[in-house]
Amino acid sequence: MKARLTVLIVVLLGVIFFGGSIEKNVIVNNSRSGLDVVFGNTEQNYFVEDGSILEDKKMNYKLSPSDLAFLYEGCKRCYYLKVVHGISQPSIPLPAIFSRMAALLKEYYDGKSTKELHPDLPPGRVMYAERYVQSNPIRLAGHNATCFIKGRFDIVVEFEDKTYGVIDFKTGKPNEESLDLYKRQLHAYAYALENPAPGTLKLSPITKMGLLYFYPSKIDQESVESLSYQAQIHWEEIPKDKGWFLEFVDEVLDVLESPQPPAPSPNCQWCGYIDKLKDI
């Protein structure tokens, strides 16, 4: 009991001073007790054995689906610092208009038939919107660390054959470079839904994934005080490839398990800014 109290105090102090959060308690037996603690995007386990507080060296990294796209591709150093050390790039808030447009889209399509989304989709209905998902730990050969997916999707469709589709809304025109990056994001949602952590949303099998693009093309003014935008709608399907996704996660773990951060990307403005400060 004394050992358990000691580790609880140490963990709580870490939470207070370093911004962590306790995820779960592990049942205590006569020789060993433990707590899984999250600091930033890393889950670390501490345990007590023979009266000593020990740190489990097996890290469990949290992977955000959206960060797997642009942050990982844009600068692996910044990605490493965020996931491993909880140090994020300074945030630049998106204009509120984009959040409002996304919310209106999800509200409008909630519960609607897939034929109202796009004619290329199989028969079904929008059943879930803006739900958080979390996967079981992903364990890959050749890695000491594990990782898990945690994030929030836009919508999920339930098709008439009782399979599911993950769809992300995008404002703009599709391009090949962005499609390759969003492929990572959609696969992460699909993996988490099919391999959920206990107590989280499970939907399986995921048979369709894709992006629904909305590109403003026309304005109609209904009155002096009201006008509306019309948008072209484009469906871009992303073929599902679980093997490809796990190979990508293998690459990500290679980066995260490195004892030192990767070299900064030459195009990363934040890393460039920090380098310039060193010269002052």
pLDDT band at 148 (very low <50, low <70, confident <90, very high): very high
CA atoms lying within 13 Å on the CB side of residue 174: 20
CATH number at residue 223: 3.90.320
pLDDT mean over 4-12: 46
Q: Is residue 82 included in any domain, yes or no?
A: yes
Q: Is residue 270 included in any domain, yes or no?
A: no
- The string of pLDDT tens digits covering residues 208-253 is 999 999 998 999 988 888 988 899 999 999 999 999 999 999 999 9
pLDDT mean over 161-167: 98
> Over 50: is that where the pLDDT of 47 sits?
no
> What is the reported pLDDT for 175?
85
Q: Residue 276's CB: how many other CB atoms inside 10 A?
A: 9
Residues 117 and 13 occupy one common structural domain: no
* CA gap 33, 140 in Å, rounded: 26
Residues 130 and 171 occupy one common structural domain: yes
> Over 80: is that where the pLDDT of 146 sits?
yes
> What is the reported pLDDT for 74?
95
Please give the model's pTM, rounded to 2 decimal places. Answer: 0.80
pLDDT mean over 61-67: 97
* CA gap 41, 151 in Å, rounded: 12
Residues 33 and 100 occupy one common structural domain: no
Residues 147 and 185 occupy one common structural domain: yes
> What is the reported pLDDT for 57?
58
Residues 224 and 146 occupy one common structural domain: yes
Residues 201 and 143 occupy one common structural domain: yes
Q: Is residue 91 included in any domain, yes or no?
A: yes
Q: Which two tokens stand for residue 268?
A: 């990363």
> What is the reported pLDDT for 103?
87
- The string of pLDDT tens digits covering residues 66-109 is 999 999 999 999 999 999 999 999 887 777 887 888 889 999 99
CA atoms lying within 13 Å on the CB side of residue 232: 6
pLDDT band at 176 (very low <50, low <70, confident <90, very high): confident
Q: Residue 274's CB: how many other CB atoms inside 10 A?
A: 12
Range of the domain at 25: 2-57
Q: Give the domain-ending residue among 25, 41, 57.
A: 57
Where on the phi/psi map is residue 44: left (φ > 0), alpha (ψ -120 to 50), or beta? Answer: beta
Residues 84 and 219 occupy one common structural domain: yes
> How many domains does the chain divide into?
2
Q: Is residue 102 included in any domain, yes or no?
A: yes
Residues 79 and 193 occupy one common structural domain: yes
Residues 99 and 34 occupy one common structural domain: no
Q: Is residue 204 included in any domain, yes or no?
A: yes
Q: Backbone phi, then psi, for 189, in 5-degree steps?
A: -60, -45
Residues 232 and 118 occupy one common structural domain: yes
- Strands 155-159 and 164-171, by their bridges, are antiparallel
Residues 52 and 144 occupy one common structural domain: no
Q: Residue 94's CB: how many other CB atoms inside 10 A?
A: 9
Residues 44 and 70 occupy one common structural domain: no
**Mean pLDDT, the chain, integer:** 84
